[in-house]
Amino acid sequence: MEITDILDVTLIETHLRRGVIFKKFDNLKPGNFFIIHYDHDPKPLYYQLLAEKGQTLYWDYLHSGPKEWKVKITRRKGEREETVGEIVAKDSSKAAVFKQMGINFACEGRKTIREICNKNGLRPEDIAKQLASVKKSTEIPEMNFLDWEVGSLCKFLIELHHQYIKTNTPFIEELSQKVAKINGEKYPGLVRVSEIFSNTLKLLTLNLANEEQILFPSIIALSEAFKKGKNIQEENFKSVIVPISIMQAENKKAYDRIQNIRALTNGYQVPPYSSYSHNLLFKMLKEFEDDLDFHLHLENNILFPKTIKLENIMRTAI
C-alpha cells in the first residue's frame, strides 16, 4: 500500500516553513512526491521553488480554498528541460518561432516545450525543427539581459517599455475610436477592438504605476542592499514574491485582452481597400503587441526569477 507523505505547514513556525519545505524537496527521489497543507494559497512558495530549483518539480493543486489548500509537489524524473522563457532569454530570435506557433512565451515562459505541446496538441519535434532553423541573433554584449543586475533591468523597463506605452497608447486609443466610428457599421469588430483597447490601457496604466512606485523601487532597494552585503533581516525588507505574483496576474489580463484584439482583427490583417487610418491602426496595434510581448518576457522570464533568487540568497544569509 502506498504511503502518502503529508506536511501540515500550519504547524510549523512561519520563519521556518521555507527551510523545512526546501529540505523535504531536496530529499525527494525522482518521481516521488509529498503533499503540503496550507491555510492560504501557497503560490509564492511555488515561485520560490521555481526560481531556486528550476523545472525540477511538478506543482499540482489538490484542493484550493477557501479555508484550506493542498498541493502535491513531485520531483521530476530525468534531466531538467529548458523552459520556453529560458530559450528566449538566451536567444531572443527564437521568440518569433513561438509567436508564429501561438505559444505564449511571455506569460507561460516557465513551461517546457513538452508541457506546452501536451496542452495545445502540438508536436515537440516540429517546434525543435523550427527552432533549429533560426540563426542566433547577433546581440551586442550590453543587451544580454541575463547578465544584467535586477536594478538595471527595472530602470531599463521604465525608460524604454513604460515610456513606449505612455507615449503611444493615447494616440492608438484615439485612432481606434475614430476608425470604429467611421468603419464600425461595415466592420463591427472594430467597435469591440476600440472598447478592449481602452480597457486594456486603463489596466496597464495602473500596472505601470504600481511597478514604478512600489514593486520596482523594492527590487532596486533589494539589489542595492545585496551589493552592500546586507541580508533581509538587517534591512527589514518585506518579501517581493507576493507583489511579483500579483503583478504577473495583472499583466496576464492585459496580455489576454490584446490577444482578443488579435483574434478580432484576424492577426491585424487589413481588409482590401481600407482607409489609411484603418491600415495605420492595425500597424500600431501589432507594434504595441510586439512591445508588450518583449516587455512581459523581460519581467516574467528574466527580472522576476532573478529577483526571487536574489531574495532567497539574502534570506538564507540570515
Instruction: Please give the domain boundaries of the chain with CATH numbers for all domains.
Output: 6-75 (3.30.110.40), 84-139 (no CATH), 142-316 (no CATH)
What is the pLDDT, as a whole number, of residue 140?
A: 39
For the chain, give the mean pLDDT. 86
DSSP strand pairing (33-38 vs 6-8): parallel
For residue range 242-257, what is the model confidence (pLDDT) as tens digits? 899 899 999 999 999 9
> pLDDT at residue 181 above 80?
yes
Highest mean pLDDT among 3-7, 93-97, 134-138, 272-276: 272-276
pTM for the whole thing? 0.74
What is the pLDDT, as a whole number, of residue 152?
A: 93
Three cell numbers at 202? 486603463
What is the pLDDT, as a whole number, of residue 95?
A: 83
For residue range 51-78, what is the model confidence (pLDDT) as tens digits? 777 778 888 889 888 889 999 999 888 7
What single string gives the DSSP state of each residue in 78-101?
SSPPPBHHHHHHH-GGGHHHHHHT
Overall average pLDDT of the 144-171 stretch: 92
- Burial class of residue 209, CB neighbours in 10 A (0-12, 13-18, 19+): exposed
| Residues 208 and 162: beta-carbon distance below 8 Å | yes
> pLDDT grade, residue 136 (50/70/90)?
low
For residue range 198-225, what is the model confidence (pLDDT) as tens digits? 999 999 999 999 999 999 999 999 898 8
> pLDDT at residue 1 above 50?
no
SS3 of the chain: the string is CCCCCEEEHHHCCHHHHHHHHHHHHHCCCCCCEEEEEECCCCHHHHHHHHHHHCCCEEEEEEEECCCCEEEEEEECCCCCCCEHHHHHHHCHHHHHHHHHCCCCCCCCCCCEHHHHHHHHCCCHHHHHHHHHCCCCCCCCHHHCHHHCCHHHHHHHHHHHHHHHHHHHHHHHHHHHHHHHHHHCCCCCHHHHHHHHHHHHHHHHHHHHHHHHHHHHHHHHHHHHHHHCCCCHHHHCCCCCHHHHHHHHHHHHHHHHHHHHHHHHCCCCCCCCCCCHHHHHHHHHHHHHHHHHHHHHHHHHHHHHHHHHHHHHHHHHCC
What is the pLDDT, as a whole number, of residue 117?
A: 83
Residues in the chain: 318
Three cell numbers at 158? 521604465
More confident residue, 36 or 102: 36
What is the pLDDT, as a whole number, of residue 235?
A: 55
What is the pLDDT, as a whole number, of residue 143?
A: 62
Overall average pLDDT of the 24-49 stretch: 88
